[in-house]
Structure 1
Amino acid sequence: MDLKVLLDIARKSIFTYFDKSLVLNKEFYLSNFDELSEQRASFVTLTLNGRLRGCIGSLTAHTQLYEDVFINARKAAFNDPRFEPLQFKDFTNIKIEVSVLTPPRRVTYIDKYDLKDKLIPNEHGVILKYNENQATFLPQVWEQLPSFDEFMNSLCTKANVSISCLEDNAQIFIYEAMKIKE
Structure 2
Amino acid sequence: VTHYKTPLGLVEISPKAKELMKEKIIVSLSEVHEKEHSVEVEIPFLQHVLKKFELIPIVTGNIDPKELAEVLNKYVDGETLVVASSDLSHYHPYEVAVNLDKPCVNSIAGMKIEEAKKCEACGKIPILTLMYMAKKRGWVGKVLDYRNSGDTAGEKSRVVGYAAIAFYEGLNESEKEFLLNLARRTLESYLTNKTKPVVDEESLSPSLKKVQGCFVTLKKRGRLRGCIGHILPQEELYKCVMDNAISAALNDPRFSPVKLEELEDIEIEISVLTVPELLVYSSPEDLLNKLKPNVDGVVIRYGWRESTYLPQVWEQLPDKKQFLSSLCLKQGSPPECWKDAEVYTYHAMVFSESTE
157 and 37 in structure 1: CA distance in 2 versus 1, 3 angstrom threshold: same
Structure number, greater radius of gyration: 2
TM-aligned CA deviation for residue 5 of structure 1: 1.3
Deviations 1:104-159 (A, max 9, x none): 00001122211111110000000000011110000000001111012111111101
Aligned to 2:193: 20
Q: Classify 1:30/1:59 alpha carbon distance in 2 versus 1 (closer, same or farther; 3 Å).
A: farther
**Relative to structure 2, which stretch is displaced further, 120-129 or 1-10?**
1-10
Q: Distance in 1 between matches of 2:236 and 2:339?
A: 37
1:152 aligns with 2:321: no
Could you tell me which amino acid in structure 2 is paired with residue 4 of structure 1?
Answer: E
Instruction: Measure the CA separation in 2 of the matches of 1:25 and 1:104.
Output: 31
- Kindly indicate whether the alpha-carbon contact (under 8 Å) linking 2:277 and 2:344 is maintained by their aligned counterparts in 1: yes
Deviations 1:69-96 (A, max 9, x none): 0000000001111111001121110011
> In structure 1, what is the Cα distance between the partners aligned to 2:250 and 2:196?
18
| Contact 2:324–2:338 under 8 Å retained in 1 | no
Q: What corresponds to 2:184 in structure 1?
A: 11
Mark the CA change 1:104 to 1:181 in structure 2 (over 3 Å): closer, same or farther: same
SS of corresponding position for 1:19: helix
2:276 match:
104
- The answer on whether the counterparts of 1:111 and 1:166 sit within 8 Å (CA) in structure 2 is no
1:14-44, Cα deviation, whole Å (9 max, x unpaired):
11112229752311x5513321111011000
CA distance in 1, matches of 2:194, 2:276: 38
* Native 8 Å contact 2:325 2:336 kept in 1: no
Residues 46-65 of structure 1 deviation map (CA, whole Å, 9 limit, x = unaligned): 01121110000000001111
Task: Indicate yes or no: 2:349 matched with 1:178.
Answer: yes
What TM-score results when the alignment is normalised by the length of structure 2?
Answer: 0.49
Gaps of 5+ in 2: 1-170
Q: CA RMSD in A?
A: 1.5
Moved more, 119-128 or 88-97: 88-97
For the 8 Å contact 1:125–1:176, the answer to whether it is kept is: yes
For residues 42 and 21 of structure 1, the distance between their equivalents in structure 2, rounded to whole angstroms, comes to 22
- Return the letter of the residue paired with 1:50: G
Which amino acid in the other structure matches residue 342 of structure 2?
A: Q
Call closer, same or farther: CA 1:32–1:110 in 2, change over 3 Å. same
Identify the range of structure 1 (170-179 vs 146-155) with the bigger mean alpha-carbon deviation.
146-155
Matches within 5 A, 1:13-162: 13-20=186-193, 24-27=197-200, 30-162=202-334
Gaps of 5+ in 1: none
Count of matched residue pairs: 180
- With normalisation by structure 1, the TM-score equals 0.93
- Higher RCO by CA contacts (8 Å cutoff, separation 6 or greater): 1
Q: Which moved more, 1:159-168 or 1:93-102?
A: 159-168
The 8 Å contact of residues 130 and 165 in structure 1, kept in 2 or not, is answered as: yes
Counterpart CA distance in 1 for 2:204 and 2:270 is: 19
CA distance in 2, matches of 1:96, 1:135: 22
- Contact 2:328–2:336 under 8 Å retained in 1: no
Where do 4+ consecutive residues of structure 1 move more than 4 Å? none
Tell me: CA distance 1:163–1:111, structure 2 relative to 1, closer, same or farther (3 Å): farther
Deviation at 1:103, TM superposition (A): 0.5
